[in-house]
């Protein structure tokens, strides 16, 4: 029960981190590498727990799980996810690919290609993505990194640049409501349409290319 509760919590934390700028500003660190290897797995946020990531697991102690065991299972999940950051492994056996998160599934998650954006948020079990409609099978090799890459190897810049951009845009928006929206809306949202979300980009693509639609 602890395993399933933790993995379910991770899935929703991870999915929301891709759909809410406030959490994306921390999670972006993990997606900042344009290479996909074991070193990329070590790119972890400095600001995640400080900005509330732990809240996604807060329900577990409330229903009886001991906090120390919740933390233990989080570490098990983190260790599992280390090995899937590789291009060396092509595919696991079909039954394994159906149930578990694998290098193939996670390569999709790190892809910056439009059809791969915001897919495969699994921790250990890929069944959550299949059930909640966020699963995407790997087709051609993804292009890794961000849709707008951070041109720096300075860890402090990578950790805080997106936060700085959010505050700058919020202040420049000219109103409290619009400023707040920059933190609660998806990455790419803008009050003036100067930048666009994944859904907006996919909608535009499907209108221009009805024969090559993206879900």
In this predicted structure, what is the pLDDT of residue 215?
A: 85
pLDDT of amino acid 198 = 96
The residue written with tokens 């790997």 in the block is 138
Element (H, E) at 53: none
Angle between helices 155-172 and 176-184 (to 10 degrees): 140
Q: Is the Cβ–Cβ distance between 42 and 69 less than 8 Å?
A: no
For residue 186, what is the DSSP state?
P
Render each residue's pLDDT in the chain as its tens digit; 215 residues: 999 999 999 999 999 999 999 999 999 999 999 999 999 999 999 999 999 999 999 999 999 999 999 999 999 999 999 999 999 999 999 999 999 999 999 999 999 999 999 999 999 999 999 999 999 999 999 999 999 999 999 999 999 999 999 999 999 999 999 999 999 999 999 999 999 999 999 999 999 999 889 98
Whose CA is closest to 158, among 40, 4, 14? 40
Give backbone dihedrals phi and psi of 125, rounded to 5 degrees, phi first.
Answer: -100, 125
CB under 8 A, 24+ apart: contacts of 108-112: 108/136, 108/137, 108/138, 108/142, 110/31, 110/36, 110/40, 110/85, 110/142, 110/144, 110/145, 111/142, 111/143, 111/144, 112/142, 112/143, 112/144, 112/145, 112/146, 112/147
How many domains is the chain built from?
Answer: 1
Yes or no: say if 124 and 78 are a contact pair by the CB < 8 Å rule.
Answer: no
Structural domain of 57: 1-215
Q: Are 85 and 36 in contact (CB under 8 A)?
A: yes
Q: Which of 123, 87, 126, 124 is nearest to 107 (CA)?
A: 87
Contact 193, 187 (CB under 8 A): no
């Amino acid at each position: 029960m602890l395993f399933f509760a933790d993995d379910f919590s991770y899935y929703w934390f991870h999915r929301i981190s891709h759909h809410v700028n406030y959490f994306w500003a921390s999670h972006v660190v993990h997606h900042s590498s344009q290479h996909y290897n074991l070193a990329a797995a070590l790119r972890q946020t400095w600001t995640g727990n400080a900005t509330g990531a732990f809240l996604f697991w807060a329900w577990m102690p409330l229903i009886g799980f001991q906090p120390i065991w919740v933390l233990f299972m989080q570490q098990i999940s983190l260790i599992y996810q280390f090995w899937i950051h590789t291009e060396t492994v092509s595919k696991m056996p079909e039954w394994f690919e159906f149930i578990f998160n694998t290098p193939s599934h996670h390569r999709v998650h790190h892809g910056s290609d439009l059809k791969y954006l915001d897919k495969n948020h699994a921790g250990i079990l890929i069944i959550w993505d299949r059930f909640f409609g966020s699963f995407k099978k790997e087709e051609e090799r993804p292009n890794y990194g961000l849709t707008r890459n951070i041109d720096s190897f300075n860890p402090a810049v990578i950790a805080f640049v997106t936060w700085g951009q959010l505050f700058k845009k919020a202040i420049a928006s000219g109103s409290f409501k619009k400023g707040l929206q920059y933190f609660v809306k998806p990455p790419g949202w803008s009050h003036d349409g100067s930048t666009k979300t994944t859904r907006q980009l996919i909608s535009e693509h499907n209108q221009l290319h009805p024969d090559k639609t993206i879900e």
